[in-house]
């Protein structure tokens, strides 16, 4: 029994010691086929330091020595850099001290020149900013702006004073800009049209306020250094004056100048950015479009009714003055009844003429009621649009608050524009209805008066 246990233990140790590794790291197990092979395997396993293990140990030792060498080199480099940093810091502090002394000496030697540097730098910068936006820049070119920039940079350095030539050039440019503010000059230059094309045109510069071409006000584009057409022009009575000043050889010439803003034209730019009357109407939304359509239809209906009633009225007046009855007018058709039925009594005649008057009334009064309805409904539609606009305004207030008025502008604009359109449609339509209704009443009054006179005449004849 003991031999069996001993054999099993030896077999287990042999299996463990017989496990080896392949070159790619995978385990390879050697299986003994008999006890003698197992004994050989155990015998070979007594030497743990195989050649592979010795190679690995040698590689590890070499790598350890290399890492130690790298660490030592890194420490030496760090020590060298620390010494260099300390040296540079000392040098920097010494230079700082020298710089303080040099700046103090410079200030003492410059004296009042510091004020000159400051004045020149400030004036040059201010002049450059003005000239960059000035409408005279397209005429005088970009050279003066480049000069101002270079001189301003030189003065800001505060090292070298401006030369006599530079001071005279600065004086010249400032004086030229001052003189240009009181000149009316005509010259040829490039103009950018609204579609992006560049054209050579004759333009007139009125001071440093406005530049005009034939029938148009222009604006200066600093980014491109040339004039460009405004996206929209002011009223025709202003643009018509641009041709007068462009073609005028003698002065004075009537011309509208906009002197607002740093270089003029601010009011003009604000005016042309405002929406036109059609643009304001479009802000009314669907209700506004409906009101405009109703207004146009009501106007067309009035024109048609006025023309028709005027012809009817002319025929009635002509028939009243004529002794010959005609069927081409309402009064003639009514009086024709009395002439055709001379044997009828007065009561019967009155009934027949009243019947004919009732037939003629729809033609005379026609669609006058439509104009009356429009005059009543238009303000109500305007009020409806006002309610829609206020609902939109309060919705914007709920979502975004009252911090930004622009968020509420759309709703308020809709509310006001629809009210305006409603009144604009209702007020003229009221006068239209009153006009056609008055003409209709006059026609019917003339017809009734003539028919009553005819009946009275017949009654006197029979009595």
Q: What is the pLDDT of residues 313-365, one digit of tens each?
A: 888 888 777 777 777 777 778 777 777 666 666 777 777 777 777 787 878 88
Q: How confident is the model at residue 300 (pLDDT cuts 50, 70, 90)?
A: very high
* Segments making up each domain of the chain, as ranges: 181-260, 285-462
427 pLDDT above the threshold of 90:
yes
Q: pLDDT confidence of 248, banded at 50, 70, 90?
A: low
How many CB atoms are closer than 10 A to CB 446? 17
Each residue's pLDDT tens digit, 271-289: 666 666 666 677 778 888 8
Query: What local confidence, expressed as pLDDT, does residue 58 receive?
Result: 81
Residue-wise pLDDT for 168-221, tens only, equals 888 898 898 888 888 888 888 888 887 778 888 888 888 878 888 877 788 888
127 Cβ neighbours under 8 A, 6+ residues apart: 148, 170, 173, 174, 177
307/439 Cα distance (integer angstroms) = 11
Plot region of 52 (φ>0 → left; ψ -120 to 50 → alpha; else → beta): alpha
Report H helices in 181-263.
236-247
Residue whose entry in the numeric block shows the structure tokens 């070119």: 141
Q: Considering the chain, what is the average pLDDT of its residues?
A: 77
Give the model's confidence band at 48: pLDDT under 50 very low, under 70 low, under 90 confident, else very high.
very low
Extended strands (E) in 131-183: none
CA distance 282 to 260: 30
Instruction: Report the run of H or E that residue 126 belongs to, with start and end.
Output: helix 113-133
Backbone angle region of 158, left / alpha / beta, with phi > 0 → left and psi within -120 to 50 → alpha: left
> Which one has a higher pLDDT value, 290 or 112?
290
CA distances from 40 to 5, 9, 26, 463 (A): 20, 15, 23, 171
Contacts of 376 (CB under 8 A, 6+ apart): 426
Hey, what's the torsion of the CAs at 407, 411, 414, 420, to 10 degrees? -100
As a whole number of angstroms, the distance between CA 77 and CA 69 comes to 12
Q: What is the mean pLDDT of residues 97-106?
A: 81
Least reliable range by pLDDT among 228-237, 239-248, 395-404: 239-248
Q: Which residue has the higher pLDDT, 242 or 213?
A: 213
% pLDDT > 70, the chain: 75
- Residue 84: predicted pLDDT: 92
Residues 6 or more apart in contact with residue 199 via CB below 8 angstroms: 190, 191, 193
**What predicted TM-score, i.e. pTM, was given to this entire model?**
0.50
| Spatial distance between the Cα atoms of 325 and 52, rounded to a whole number of angstroms | 143
Q: Rg for the chain (alpha carbons), in Å? A: 53
State the Cα–Cα distance between residues 216 and 227, nearest whole angstrom: 12
Return the closest-CA partner of residue 414 out of 395, 391, 398, 431: 391
């Amino acid at each position: 029994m003991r031999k069996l246990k001993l054999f099993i233990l030896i077999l287990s140790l042999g299996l463990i010691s017989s496990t080896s590794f392949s070159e790619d790291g995978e385990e390879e197990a050697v299986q003994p086929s008999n006890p003698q092979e197992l004994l050989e395997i155990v015998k070979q396993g007594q030497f743990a330091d195989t050649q592979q293990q010795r190679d690995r140990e040698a590689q590890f030792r070499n790598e350890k020595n290399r890492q130690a060498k790298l660490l030592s080199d890194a420490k030496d480099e760090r020590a060298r850099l620390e010494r260099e940093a300390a040296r540079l810091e000392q040098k920097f502090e010494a230079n700082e001290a020298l710089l303080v002394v040099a700046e103090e000496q410079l200030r003492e030697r410059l004296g009042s020149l510091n004020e000159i540097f400051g004045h020149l730098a400030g004036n040059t910068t201010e002049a450059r900013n003005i000239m960059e936006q000035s409408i005279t820049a397209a005429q005088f070119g970009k050279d003066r702006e480049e000069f101002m920039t270079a001189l301003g940079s030189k003065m800001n350095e505060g090292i070298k004073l401006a030369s006599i030539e530079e001071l005279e050039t600065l004086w010249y440019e400032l004086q030229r800009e001052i003189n240009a503010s009181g000149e009316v000059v005509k010259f040829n230059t490039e103009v950018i049209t609204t579609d992006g094309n560049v054209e050579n045109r004759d333009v007139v510069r009125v001071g440093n306020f406005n530049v005009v071409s034939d029938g148009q006000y222009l604006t200066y584009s600093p980014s491109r250094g040339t004039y460009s057409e405004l996206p929209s022009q002011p009223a025709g009575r202003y643009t018509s004056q641009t041709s007068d000043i462009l073609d005028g050889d003698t002065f004075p010439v009537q011309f509208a100048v906009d002197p607002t803003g740093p270089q003029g034209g601010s009011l003009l730019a604000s005016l042309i950015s405002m929406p036109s009357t059609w643009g304001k109407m479009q802000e009314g939304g669907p209700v506004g479009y409906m009101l405009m359509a109703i207004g146009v239809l009501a106007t067309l209906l009035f024109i048609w009714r006025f023309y028709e009633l005027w012809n009817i009225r002319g025929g009635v007046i002509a028939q009243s003055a004529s002794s010959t009855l005609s069927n081409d007018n309402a009064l003639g058709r009514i009086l024709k009844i009395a002439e055709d039925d001379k044997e009828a009594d007065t009561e019967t005649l009155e009934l027949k003429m009243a019947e004919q008057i009732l037939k003629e009334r729809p033609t005379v009064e026609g669609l006058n009621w439509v104009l009356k309805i429009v005059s009543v409904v238009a303000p109500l539609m305007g009020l409806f649009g006002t309610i829609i606009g206020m609902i939109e305004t309060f919705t914007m207030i709920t979502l975004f608050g009252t911090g930004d008025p622009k968020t509420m502008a759309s709703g308020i604009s809709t509310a006001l524009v629809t009210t305006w359109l409603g009144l604009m449609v209702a007020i003229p339509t009221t006068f239209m209805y009153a006009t056609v209704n008055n003409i209709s009443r006059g026609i019917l009054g003339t017809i009734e008066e003539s028919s009553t006179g005819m009946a009275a005449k017949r009654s006197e004849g029979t009595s």
